[in-house]
Chain A
């Protein structure tokens, strides 16, 4: 989506009477559109990372800003590069989390878990009559 906005920006620049038609910029815009389509393909695959989402939101906001406000061509180019970089980061994360990240089941190191939390955890079971009452209730429910 953000890449599409970049394309709109370039088209906007290109159709502006005061700025001469720039084929390089139009080409960048088309590449951007291709990236946008790639981004869509990545997003429709179920696992999309939170990072990917955050990156895309930032890129989208910048893209929207870029499209609405009349930047100079050079300023626009800088923004466009930033947005493309962010979008590519999002796509890279998407690829990593979908295809590269090791999702095979791993054995949990329970000793490590225990050591990490053992000092914090206390036995806060009820005491005295309160415990007896709860145990009576458990005894009654046993086998029922």
Chain B
């Protein structure tokens, strides 16, 4: 009898783990770097939320703009008020499909492409972003580097500060995924 119960529990656990196809962002870090003639501007955000469906390859990531932290408070204020208008456009969203194969159950490094719509500052653009997903000992990490043209998302730079802010900024994203379960 005990053996049967144990067998049943093992089977159910197996079924549950096999059916686990959705992963959420356990932690993430988005960094951007603007290199201009007069100054370098850098910021980091650790407050994104996101979901990836390993079966359908759909993904969605939401970034809170006000959570970008700069090394100078004034830069952060200008970023939110003058450029990103974060009261009007509080989040950036990237949503689409992962192109390429990755197996969350098999340790390996998977170069994939995230093809989707990137909504920043209320302007949506189609983007294909190369991402490397690494599965190691059951832990899924990802990283990506790409460039972002501010004009593509309607972010205007006044002529007075063209020497302070780059027209195209470098972005690096990295993070860890975990099986999606609702937090208590």
> Could you list which residues of chain A lie within 8 angstroms of chain B, going by C-beta atoms?
47, 49-51, 53, 97, 101, 106, 108, 110, 113-114, 116-118, 120-125, 127-128, 131-132, 134-135, 138-139, 141-143
> Could you list which residues of chain B lie within 8 angstroms of chain A, going by C-beta atoms?
22, 24, 27, 29, 31, 33, 35, 37-38, 42-51, 53, 56, 58-60, 62, 64, 67, 69-71, 95, 145, 160-164, 170, 172, 180, 182-184
Chain B residues within an 8 Å CB radius of A131: 49, 183
Question: A110, B37: Cβ atoms under 8 Å?
Answer: no
With A123-B27, A138-B60 in contact, is A117–B22 under 8 Å at CB?
Answer: no
Question: B62, A49: Cβ atoms under 8 Å?
Answer: no
Chain A residue at minimal CB-CB distance from B172: A110
Question: A135, B53: Cβ atoms under 8 Å?
Answer: no
Distance (whole angstroms) from the CB of A103 to the closest CB of chain B: 8
Distance (whole angstroms) from the CB of B162 to the closest CB of chain A: 7
Chain B residues within an 8 Å CB radius of A116: 42, 71
Provide the bound-state CA to CA distance between A127 and B70, in Å: 24
Question: B42, A47: Cβ atoms under 8 Å?
Answer: no
Residue from A114, A120, A124 in contact with B47 in the complex, judged by beta carbons closer than 8 Å: A124
